Amino acid sequence: MGFRLNLNEAVKRRQESPISIDTGPLDPAEYRAIDQQLVPHWRTFYRLLWHLGIRVSEGLAITVADLTSSGVVVGRLKKSEDAREELPLPRWLLDELKAQAPLRKSRRVFPYTRQAAHAALLKAARAAGLSRRVHPHNYRHAFGRRALLLKLGGSELDHKQLVAGLMGHSSTRYVDRYGRPGKPEIEAAWRRLHASP
């Protein structure tokens, strides 16, 4: 008799699980700490997520043919119009990405599963001493937060539309989530409040 878990039991176990995943944005210190613990191919992968704000599945789908002279062509998963767009990369990261490509025998630069990407991230986060349980989507939220805080010009609506475009969102309604303060901002606010008389 094999092990079977019905849907109700699975949901109940998930609700009772003491482990929760925090998908709030990584702060730069967390990013650097994890980056130092990742092995080279995963380091390149997570740097790509940090600098482009793409979803993990979008990053894993990148092929050698998607690499261009100035960036990478990414297939956006949830975009209704043209789903493929070229995203620029810093030269150093593009060179690092191209250096990884010949090491891979498959067409994909990163021939892994989402689960393998998550496992590599969890291992690096533990080695870095992070107390929160991280997820690859933290990188996307960190990119959105950084883009929202840049104040790239124009009206607030123009800025939200720009951030939505950077993130591959078809609407600005998804952008508001990146403006919510994360744990580091809340802790910093408490320190500032306690420092004043």
**pLDDT 10s digits, 171-180:** 888 888 887 7
Residues 6+ positions from 125 with CB-CB distance below 8 Å: 34, 37, 132, 133, 134
| Strand residues in 8-83 grouped as ranges (E) | 71-75
The most confident of 25-29, 114-118, 131-135, 166-170, by mean pLDDT:
114-118
In this predicted structure, what is the pLDDT of residue 11? 44
CATH architecture of 23-192: Orthogonal Bundle (1.10)
Average pLDDT for 63-75? 92
Task: Enumerate the domain spans of the chain.
Answer: 23-192
* Region of poorest pLDDT, from 11-25, 67-81, 103-117: 11-25
Stretch 121-128: mean pLDDT, rounded? 96
Q: What's the confidence (pLDDT) of residue 50?
A: 96
pLDDT at 173: 83
CB 107 within 8 Å of CB 65 = yes
What was the pLDDT predicted at 10?
Answer: 43
For residue 85, give the 3-state DSSP assignment.
strand
pLDDT of res. 113: 95
Share of the chain above pLDDT 90, in %: 44
Which is more confident, 179 or 69?
A: 69
63-78 mean pLDDT: 89
DSSP 3-state helix, strand, coil percentages of the chain (rounded to 5)?
60, 5, 35
Residues 5, 64: Cα–Cα separation, whole Å: 40
pLDDT of residue 103: 64
C-alpha–C-alpha distance, residues 30 and 39, integer Å: 16
Instruction: Write down the mean pLDDT value for the chain.
Output: 83
Residue 87 pairs in a beta bridge with 72
Q: Whole-angstrom Cα distance, residue 195 to residue 26? A: 25
Task: Select the highest-mean-pLDDT range: 17-21, 76-80, 117-121, 130-134.
Answer: 117-121
How far from 21 is each of 35, 64, 86, 138, CA to CA, in Å? 19, 32, 31, 10
